[in-house]
Amino acid sequence: MQKTYGPATARRLVAAAMMLAALPAAAQRAAVSSYPTPTEFPKADAAAVARYLDEARRIAGEDRFPDFVHRCIISPRYSVRVRGIQHDGLIEPTQLFDQLYSVGQNAVSSFALVTSAGIVLFDALNSPEEAEQIIVPNLQRLGLDPANIKYIVVTHGHGDHYGGARYLQQTYGARVLSSAIDWDLMSGERSRGPFAGLEPPQRDIVIEDGQTLVVGDTTLRFYITPGHTPGTLSTIFPVTDQGQPHLVGFHGGTGGGREADALRAGIKSYARWRDLTQEAGVDVLIANHPLHDRGIENNELLRSRLPGQPNPYVVGEDSYQRYMQVMESCSRVHLARFGESE
């Protein structure tokens, strides 16, 4: 006797059958020979790599261990894994501090710092489309008016950070600032490399090393920190968390680059940045990719924060310094992988 099913059960069975049919057969799996392999460094100084890896691991401790793993091991050796985590994707806009908001996407960050004289936006994502369809609605969802963007800080001259700046500059009249070196880099990127064809913002404000910018009630201090790019721009500025004062150290490009000279520049730059941030008393860590500051995780925690719970971005002065030391030591690891030294 043939079994019959009610309409609801029949629909579920049909849906399940369609899902099974859509699954790839084992025979369709890519050949093992096509699997990505770890990046090899045939000229590596194995003894120096081991020594600097050990140094970075000891500095990291338990709280900075994920940063050590990412910067020393995963990023240089397993780039496919990085791309899998750092994919383009929408995330929830989130208030991080009384004045600071996350308005970017999963792959790359954008932060809005609200001052009494308007918004300072750090980085503008990959493209005009992302500025229009991610940054602008994220600001609006947080109760912020994009027309109040006064300045856009381009932390470094790669297209995933300046891509939407031209749109915001033209649409809202925002002033754009970067270092002279990376203004030149942006112009060159338009005709070559992975960002070819992407229009940079019109050249506007050039920031010098050590320059201070006062925007209403907020003072920002800028420093040029070569490494990731020759003119990477890093910033120190104050925020409050439920009225309690803190100091943000926003390094404009962690990761020392893919060439020996850039790594050497980064090592010196990290050491100087550590001195600057230690003297200032920086205790808040943010970065321009969520993968680099646990932004996705921290934002989720903040949106479910209970009274009395700490702000996860407030890492403390010691942990901030060790984070930057890990970046420095991992640059030495990578330099040793090239068979080079300082």
Residue 30 lies in a domain: no
pLDDT score, position 27: 54
pLDDT score, position 61: 97
Q: Which domain holds residue 274?
A: 46-337
pLDDT score, position 257: 67
Q: Which two tokens stand for residue 308?
A: 């009395």
CATH number at residue 315: 3.60.15.10
In DSSP notation, 14-61 reads HHHHHHHHHSPPGGGSPPGGGS--PPP-TT--HHHHHHHHHHHHHHHT
Q: How long is the chain?
A: 342
Residue 177 lies in a domain: yes
Q: Are strands 118-122 and 149-153 parallel, antiparallel or unpaired?
A: parallel
Angle, nearest 10°, between helix axes 317-337 and 260-280?
170
Residue 17 lies in a domain: no
Q: Are strands 175-179 and 205-207 parallel, antiparallel or unpaired?
A: parallel
Average pLDDT over residues 98-110: 98
Tell whether the model's pLDDT for residue 303 goes beyond 80: yes
Residue 157 lies in a domain: yes
Residue 8 lies in a domain: no
- Split into its structural domains, the chain has a count of 1
Question: What tens digit of pLDDT does each residue of 185-213 get?
Answer: 999 877 677 888 899 999 999 999 999 99
Place of tokens 């860590």: 285
Question: What tens digit of pLDDT does each residue of 55-87 get?
Answer: 999 999 999 999 999 999 999 999 999 999 999
Residue 4 lies in a domain: no
Tell whether the model's pLDDT for residue 3 goes beyond 80: no
**183 Cα distance to chain centroid:** 20
Output DSSP code: residue 168.
Answer: H
Residue 256 lies in a domain: yes
Q: How many CB atoms are located within 10 Å of the residue 281 CB?
A: 13
Tell whether the model's pLDDT for residue 330 goes beyond 60: yes
Evaluate whether 91 touches 105 at the Cβ level (below 8 Å).
Answer: yes
Tell whether the model's pLDDT for residue 103 goes beyond 50: yes
